[in-house]
Structure 1
């Protein structure tokens, strides 16, 4: 037999320390239940999805159109690898997973650096590809949006954990 009545309303101050949800999180949920599904991470996921499409097409286009020698061979493969990892991050961001914001920030940030350097090298040697032009800027925007979505995703994760502790599994 439990120590307290399971059907009684929760006592003041007992839920927050157990589940990790702060009073501010619960107050924000009371004011606006949409804090469980914030819009900024979905926007970041859409930007990361666009970035991954641009990166995958840029890498494939470069491998298909240009014969590379030496260290230049690594650039399209790196762009493809980080484009694929930003695709995984975008899908997880759509699902509101907290780790996805950090993964997307890392993958799109490195993608912005690699694709930006590739764009400079390619233009310096007379090769301009449409997808390669869009990839660095979209990756930088995706990295910024992913960084901005860390806070809202953390709040949503704490609330999800709180409500799961109360028997409401919200995803």
Structure 2
């Protein structure tokens, strides 16, 4: 009887995982927008944010994720938390079909934001990324902080509510 190797999947060591929370939005949509990302590694927190004059909620969500991944200095295990189902589904479910169809949607239309999807894919390929969806405005402290940072970035650049 041959012995079999047993593979045990252990949870990631929290001291070796970068936790990232991202958010983005516009007011109105489309219009002036802001994005933010919070990166946490061990006890070090880095906050990134920015704004664009003419954009969409979806673009801001994607820019937050791309910028956060690009900020990492070496390959990492990342848990990226997003309240954007567009980002979550796009990166985990839709991209293979889009690529297979030459960046066309299921209706045959060109995929929106191809530039940012490609940027995220390039930034993510050197990392092990677990994409986690969190419900927005549901009391998750880090998601709420990312939302505030994105709003502050938009307001600082363009004023308004």
Greater Cα radius of gyration, structure 1 or 2: 1
- Structure having the higher strand fraction is 2
Structures share a fold, TM > 0.5?
no
**TM-score bracket relative to the smaller structure:** under 0.3
Q: Normalization by structure 2: what TM-score?
A: 0.25
- The alignment's TM-score, normalised by the length of structure 1, stands at 0.24
Which structure carries more helix by proportion? 1
